Structure 1
Amino acid sequence: MQSSGFFKMALVLGLLSAIGPFAIDMYLPALPEIGASLGASVGAVQWSLTAFFLSLGAGQLLYGPVSDMVGRKPPMYFGLALFTLASVGCALATDIETLVALRFVQGLGAAAGMAIPRAVVRDLHTGTDAARLMSLLMLVFSVSPILAPLAGSGVIALAGWRGVFWAVAGAAVAGLALVYASLGETRPAAERVESSLGGALGAYGLLLRDWHYLGLVFIGGCAMAGFFVYLAGSPFVLINHYGLTPTQYSLAFSVNAAAFIGTSQFTAALGERFGLVRLVKVAATGSGMVMVAMLGYYLLGGDQLAVLIGLYFVASALMGLVIPTTSVLALEKHGAIAGTASALLGTLQMLTGAAAMGIVGLFANGKPLPMVVGMATGALVGVALAWITLAGHSDHPHVVAAKA
Structure 2
Amino acid sequence: MFFSRYLKMALILGLLSAIGPFAIDMYLPALPAIGRSLGAEVGAVQFSLTAFFLSLGVGQLLYGPVSDMVGRKPPLYFGLGLFTLASIGCALATDIQTLVALRFLQGLGAAAGMAIPRAVVRDLHTGAEAARLMSLLMLVFSVSPILAPLAGSGVIALTGWRGVFWAVALASVAGLLLVYSALQETRSEAERVESSLGSALRAYGVLLRDWHYLGLVGIGATAMAGFFVYLAGSPFVLINHYGLSPTQYSLAFSFNAVAFIGASQFTGLLGRRFGLVRLVKAAATASGTTMALLLAYYLLGGDQLWVLITLYFVASAFMGLVIPTASVLALEKHGAIAGTASALLGTLQMLGGAAAMGIVSLFATGKPLPMVVGMATGALIGVALTWITLSGDARRHLAAEAHG
* Alpha-carbon distance between aligned partners in 2 of 1:312 and 1:44, rounded to the nearest angstrom: 26
Q: Residue deviations 1:99-133, cap 9 Å, x none?
A: 00000000000000000000000000000000000
* Alpha-carbon distance between aligned partners in 1 of 2:360 and 2:299, rounded to the nearest angstrom: 16
Assess if the C-alpha contact under 8 Å between 2:121 and 2:133 holds in 1.
yes
- 2:184 counterpart of 1:184: yes
1:5 alignment partner in structure 2 = 5
Over 3 Å counting, the alpha-carbon distance change for 1:393 and 1:270 in structure 2 is farther
Assess if the C-alpha contact under 8 Å between 1:272 and 1:400 holds in 2.
no
Q: 1:403 is paired with a residue of what secondary structure?
A: coil
* Alpha-carbon distance between aligned partners in 1 of 2:339 and 2:225, rounded to the nearest angstrom: 23
1:88 alignment partner in structure 2 = 88
* Alpha-carbon distance between aligned partners in 2 of 1:394 and 1:237, rounded to the nearest angstrom: 42
Assess if the C-alpha contact under 8 Å between 2:68 and 2:339 holds in 1.
yes
* Alpha-carbon distance between aligned partners in 1 of 2:401 and 2:200, rounded to the nearest angstrom: 30
2:350 alignment partner in structure 1 = 350
Assess if the C-alpha contact under 8 Å between 2:332 and 2:400 holds in 1.
no
Match of 1:258, as an amino acid?
A: V
Q: Would you identify which runs of 4 or more consecutive aligned residues in structure 1 move more than 2 Å?
A: 393-402
Counting aligned pairs with the same residue, the percent is 83
* Alpha-carbon distance between aligned partners in 2 of 1:51 and 1:61, rounded to the nearest angstrom: 16
Q: Residue deviations 1:44-78, cap 9 Å, x none?
A: 00001000000000000000000000000000000
Q: Residue deviations 1:278-324, cap 9 Å, x none?
A: 00011000000000000000000000000000000000000000000
* Alpha-carbon distance between aligned partners in 1 of 2:78 and 2:159, rounded to the nearest angstrom: 29
TM-score (norm 2): 0.99
2:308 alignment partner in structure 1 = 308
1:175 alignment partner in structure 2 = 175
Assess if the C-alpha contact under 8 Å between 1:276 and 1:395 holds in 2.
no
Match of 1:255, as an amino acid?
A: F
Displacement of 1:392: 1.5
Displacement of 1:189: 0.3
* Alpha-carbon distance between aligned partners in 1 of 2:179 and 2:388, rounded to the nearest angstrom: 40
2:364 alignment partner in structure 1 = 364
* Alpha-carbon distance between aligned partners in 1 of 2:58 and 2:370, rounded to the nearest angstrom: 27
Match of 1:230, as an amino acid?
A: Y
* Alpha-carbon distance between aligned partners in 1 of 2:117 and 2:46, rounded to the nearest angstrom: 28
Q: CA RMSD in A?
A: 1.3
Over 3 Å counting, the alpha-carbon distance change for 1:311 and 1:203 in structure 2 is same
Assess if the C-alpha contact under 8 Å between 2:390 and 2:397 holds in 1.
no
* Alpha-carbon distance between aligned partners in 1 of 2:137 and 2:395, rounded to the nearest angstrom: 24
1:50 alignment partner in structure 2 = 50
Match of 1:383, as an amino acid?
A: V
1:1-400 mapped onto 2 (5 Å cutoff) = 2-394=2-394
Q: 2:394 is paired with a residue of what secondary structure?
A: coil
* Alpha-carbon distance between aligned partners in 2 of 1:400 and 1:202, rounded to the nearest angstrom: 23
* Alpha-carbon distance between aligned partners in 2 of 1:309 and 1:200, rounded to the nearest angstrom: 43
Match of 2:139, as an amino acid?
A: L
* Alpha-carbon distance between aligned partners in 2 of 1:274 and 1:120, rounded to the nearest angstrom: 26
Over 3 Å counting, the alpha-carbon distance change for 1:207 and 1:400 in structure 2 is closer
Assess if the C-alpha contact under 8 Å between 1:127 and 1:402 holds in 2.
yes
Assess if the C-alpha contact under 8 Å between 2:115 and 2:346 holds in 1.
yes
Q: 2:252 is paired with a residue of what secondary structure?
A: helix
Q: Structure 2 stretches of 5 or more lacking a match?
A: none
Assess if the C-alpha contact under 8 Å between 1:272 and 1:397 holds in 2.
no
Assess if the C-alpha contact under 8 Å between 1:80 and 1:110 holds in 2.
yes
* Alpha-carbon distance between aligned partners in 2 of 1:292 and 1:71, rounded to the nearest angstrom: 44
Displacement of 1:394: 2.6
Over 3 Å counting, the alpha-carbon distance change for 1:349 and 1:398 in structure 2 is closer
Q: Residue deviations 1:319-367, cap 9 Å, x none?
A: 0000000000000000000000000000000000000000000000000
Assess if the C-alpha contact under 8 Å between 1:225 and 1:352 holds in 2.
yes
* Alpha-carbon distance between aligned partners in 2 of 1:353 and 1:90, rounded to the nearest angstrom: 22
Displacement of 1:403: 1.4
Number of residue pairs matched by the alignment: 404
